[in-house]
Amino acid sequence: MESRKIGQFIAALRKERGFTQQELADRLGVTNKAVSKWERGDGLPDVSLMTGLADALGITVDELLRGERRPPVPEEAPASDGEAPPVPLAHLPRRPDGNMPHFGAGEGPADEPTRIIEYPVQSSGTGMPGEEEGEPDGGGEEPFYRRPWFLPAVIGTAAAVLLLLLVGIFWMGKRVAQTDGKAAESGASSTDPGYHTTAADSTAATSSATASTAATTSASHTTTTSTAATQSTTTPTVPTTPQPPANPALPGTGEVPQAKHAILFNATEGRILYGYGYEERCYPASLTKLLTAIVVLENADEDAVFTVGDEILLVREDSSIAYLEQGQRMKRDVLLHALLLDSGNDAAYVLAAGIGREKAGDPSLSAEEAVEAFCSLMNRKAAEIGAKSSHFVNPDGFHNPEHYTTPMDILTISRYAYSLPEIRSTVSESYIYDRFETGEEKTWWNTNLLVRYDDSHQYAGATGLKTGYTDEAGDCVVATAERNGVTLFAVVLDAPSDAARWEDAAAMLDAGFSLS
């Protein structure tokens, strides 16, 4: 775990200083493979290289070994006479995404009391607006609020608004019931309790939005009625800019996840227990490989043998790789282990190129053409199983603006993947040992620390499923766990750090089991 943290620190600093792996290797007099190995956390540089590596990255050796920079000590400006010292920026409250809140002119944090500007009002004995100072009471026309029709008019208006509100709520409830009925009629299910479509799936977001609309409508009507009755005596206030809402607290535990998107799903009951940002577009990173594995299993036999070719040259720099070499030959399931456990982008391209040529019936297809054919199969399968808001342009999840998904689509793909025994039995292992057809031996270690017996993040009952990371996607994980006959899925997307995704996933699973 420590070497992995240091490796991620080295990779981040290298990118920050604008070095490629090869440029950093040249500065240190080592091979590109050695730098790649350090960044993957497979080992640490020799002591003789520590000083040179630290200098190249602009840090101290101590910071290199710690895997993080020492935080600077905040300086406090001296307080002037009669004034309280300013609060250091580090002590100000932060938004859930870790950034400082932004305030407009004359605005403060959300808990700052609303400031009221009181305007002077000329009044006489009655205290009502519109009367001139010194004007005797009873002179001129009687004010409208003292006329006998005023109170019945206010009561009648309020009753009419209340009646309209009740009619609106009844109509919306009827519409929701109709939607539930249609979803229940069209919902499909399979024999595996982990993958079936329910009305709760298709209407969870709709019901939530409807409830929110009803609450907003109610609040709006209530405010209108109150304003109509009291507008003559209300003191004007200064409006404040609303702050971004915090992520909702988890039911049962009250903890608040840090990720930008999250869904907690009870697969045994087929219902969503918690979540936010369901339908927002996001990037899947290596969670893409779940769909890649699905397409592989449905288009290649267990005994199929793949040969590593020039398709591995399509793997982008700084990718997660399984260190496959051209000419090596291995069976389908060996490549699936490299894909799902080691998260090898090279394994994804070997599988994609082989199946792309096979389905096209043209072994002479170039690597690019074969991979493009495979991606067509991926998009077709995603739409077939209900992930219709996604688009995939590569088999490994390396960032591309046209390679996107939504949290609900990721849940759909994950449930389908979990229903396949070959995937479920692979992702639940800490490691798997394999032998290639060409004689090489390899041990694949699971990047999902929740199932690793040798890691402090191990979660009791964890059974999978897949991790992912790019700068644009953030730290991601789909975590599955089973206890007492209950299967849960925790989808965590765009967490702010590696540690945050494990913390969020564990907290969500804890909340789910506490409700079961």
Task: Return the CATH number at 60.
Answer: 1.10.260.40
pLDDT in tens, 349-380: 999 999 999 999 999 999 999 999 999 999 99
Q: Is residue 178 part of a domain?
A: yes
Measured between alpha carbons, how far is 309 from 326 in angstroms, rounded to an integer? 5
Which of 341, 297, 304, 344 lies closest to 324, judged by CA?
344
pLDDT of residue 185: 41
* Single pTM value for the model: 0.56
pLDDT of residue 71: 65
User: In CATH, what number is assigned to the domain containing residue 267?
Assistant: 3.40.710.10
pLDDT in tens, 195-210: 444 434 443 444 444 4
pLDDT at residue 449 is higher than 80:
yes
If asked whether residues 321 and 455 sit together in one domain, one would say yes
Token digits of residue 75? 């300086």
If asked whether residues 345 and 417 sit together in one domain, one would say yes
pLDDT in tens, 319-341: 999 999 999 999 999 999 999 99
Handedness of CA 130, 135, 138, 139 (dihedral sign): negative
pLDDT in tens, 237-255: 434 444 444 689 999 888 9
Inter-residue contact 488 to 263 (CB < 8 Å): no
Number of domains present in the structure of the chain:
3
If asked whether residues 282 and 400 sit together in one domain, one would say yes
- Pick left, alpha or beta for residue 399 (phi over 0 → left; psi -120 to 50 → alpha; otherwise beta): beta
Q: Is residue 131 part of a domain?
A: no
If asked whether residues 195 and 270 sit together in one domain, one would say no
Give mean pLDDT, residues 431-460.
97
Residue 93: how many other CB atoms lie within 10 Å: 10
pLDDT of residue 222: 39
pLDDT of residue 233: 38
Q: What is the mean pLDDT of the chain?
A: 78
Which of 281, 270, 282, 280 lies closest to 203, judged by CA?
270
Q: Is residue 455 part of a domain?
A: yes
| Residues of the domain holding 188 | 172-202
pLDDT at residue 273 is higher than 80:
yes
